[in-house]
Amino acid sequence: MTSLQSPSSSFLHLALPSAILSLCFLSQWRISSPAIILSLKNHHRSHSYSSAPLFESNGSTCQLFTGTWVRDDSYPMYQYSDCPFIEPEFNCQLYGRPDSGYLRYRWKPQNCDLPRFNGREFLEKMKGKSVMFVGDSLGKDQWESLICLLVSSVPSASTQMTRGLPLSTFKILDYGLTVSFYKAPYLVDIDAVQGKKVLKLDDLTNNAAMWKAMDVLSFNTGHWWAHQGSEQGWDLIESGGTYYQDMDRLVAMERALRTWANWADSIADRSRTQLFFLAISPTHYNPSDWSAGPTAVTTKNCYGETAPISGMMYPGAYPQQMRVLDEVLRGMKSPPYLLDITLLSALRKDCHPSVYSGELNPDQRATPDRSADCSHWCVPGLPDTWNQLLYAAMFY
């Protein structure tokens, strides 16, 4: 097997099998050479990727995920005041965003028109069924958007919201529809071992027990694999019965995605459950990705952006995490439908909460260069288009 270089100059390597760890956990740490015995990172580097993913989620002449944003004053499909379920981190209009033009754009795919989301049709076709979003806060972004699209179409319907960790559930009682969000940023399990949070790249048994019996499952992962230090969700990584304090994050992500793919290919009840995967949602922290030159850069991130990027080309560097996801999906026996929102989202530098988030205090709002959120998306906003695409994939 090929030795792989860690992204850091050195790291702690716990070369202990799982069964031994519980007996001699903390006392057995030792410094190892900066190599991980996995065979994935060089595999990535042996491929030459274009700016578009190799995996295609649909083979029709309508290229749903390639197109342009066009102004359409019939949008948005609802107002934030119509939806009391938007959390502060996504509720840009409530928290002072002064412009609303970013809400008045429609995604126009090549060679076709995207069906407008019809909440009543969705509810009728999904009566008595269940939808679950599984992943990180971008999945939560999409979950809240779908709730708003539905409740705004049947404003008098009886509803019930139960928020919790890791599971939050929304029900439209009149239709017997359940729409849930299950927080699992890495998809695979994180277990507590001797007071340490262990990310188990080869196991998702605990998480998957919460996914079974769903009629529609939409997964996402990506951003949390890059978190470092106190922001990461684990203390140690377990892979192949060996524990690591760190490893190349793309390697770790691919190993976890292959664990998920094996579950989806062999365990998921595909006769009942529709599977979707939300592609990597891009960020907009670097204005050089979309500006015409140094004189056009007026801010250090997405703050102050009020219009999409024109054209159909991907701005900036294509996300490395998307290359990993592409590789795993192409190797599956029965891959999920890929909601390939990466390009169309990359063009929407104007749709992030920026400083218009209820998560920020006044001092943070006054310092957008340091505090702007250019990762998540406003609701209403771009996630509504993600759900339009989901709707089209489910029913058309």
Q: Which contacts (CB < 8 Å, 24+ apart) does range 44-53 have?
A: 44/250, 44/254, 44/323, 44/324, 44/327, 47/323, 47/327, 49/318, 49/323, 49/326, 51/313, 51/314, 51/318, 52/314, 52/343, 53/279, 53/322, 53/323, 53/326, 53/338, 53/340, 53/342
Token code pair at residue 9: 């100059």
CB 31 within 8 A of CB 52: no
Catalytic residue chosen out of the listed positions 153, 239, 376, 384: 376
Token code pair at residue 180: 């849930």
Q: Coil, strand, or helix at residue 266?
A: helix
Q: How far apart are CA 322 and CA 356, in angstroms?
A: 28
Residues 6+ apart with CB under 8 A from 59: none
27 catalytic residue (yes or no): no
Determine how β-strand 159-162 pairs with β-strand 167-172. antiparallel
152 catalytic residue (yes or no): no
Q: How far apart are CA 119 and CA 229, in angstroms?
A: 42
Catalytic residue chosen out of the listed positions 57, 137, 281, 357: 137
The backbone torsions φ and ψ at residue 294, rounded to the nearest 5 degrees and listed phi first, read -55, -35
**Length of the chain counted residue by residue:** 396
Amino acid at 139: G
CB 75 within 8 A of CB 103: yes
Token pair 């001699």 is found at: 24
238 φ/ψ sector (left φ>0, alpha ψ -120 to 50, else beta): beta
Token code pair at residue 49: 């990727």
Q: How far apart are CA 169 and CA 185, in angstroms?
A: 17
Catalytic residue chosen out of the listed positions 136, 203, 373, 384: 373
Strand positions, DSSP E, 235-310: 236-239, 242-244, 274-278
373 catalytic residue (yes or no): yes
Residues acting as catalytic residues: 137, 373, 376
